[in-house]
Amino acid sequence: DSNFKRFAEIGRVVLLKSGPFSGKIAVIAEIIDHNRVSIIDGPTTGVPRQSYPYKHLTLTPLKLSGLPRGAGTKKVRKEIEKGAIVDKWDNSGWAQKLAVQKRWVLTDFGRCSVILACLLASRES
C-alpha cells in the first residue's frame, strides 16, 4: 500500500505554479521522462499545448480516465467538457481558497473596485 495518492500520469489534471499561466489548470497528455512532462494541454482554460517541468506543477486529485496517450487538443477538450473538469475544479475548496488568496494582495483601490463590481452585479440581477 502506497502513501502517495496522486501520480503524474496521462489524464491527470495539474495546477501550474509558475510562469505566465500560473494559477490555471491543464491536463497531462504525454510524459517524456522523470524531470519533464512532455505535453500539457488546457484548451478550455487558455493554457497552450507545451512542455512543462514537474517542479512547476502541482498534481490535483482530478483525473481524466478516458484520455489516450498523446491525445490531441480536440480529444483533450472533448474529455474535459465530458467530465466537467473545469466546473469540478471551480467548486473545489482548493480553487476557492486560491481565489480568496488573490484578494489578499490587493491594494485599497483594488478592494474598492471588487466591492463596487459586486454591488453593480447584484443590482443588475
Task: Tell me the residue range of the domain where 115 lies.
Answer: 92-124
What is the per-residue pLDDT for 84? 92
pLDDT(1) > 80: no
Mean pLDDT of the chain: 88
Is residue 38 pLDDT above 80, yes or no? no
- pLDDT tens track for 86-110: 999 999 999 999 888 877 788 899 8
Same domain? 59 vs 76: yes
Q: Are residues 115 and 62 in the same domain?
A: no
Predicted local confidence at residue 70, as pLDDT: 85
Candidates 114, 59, 117; CA nearest to 89 is 59
Contact 26, 14 (CB under 8 A): yes
Claim to verify: residue 50 and residue 97 sit in the same structural domain: no
Q: Within this chain, do residues 100 and 41 fall inside the same structural domain, yes or no?
A: no
**Model pTM?**
0.77
Rounded to whole angstroms, the Cα distance separating 110 from 46 reads: 24
- Provide the pLDDT for residue 5: 84
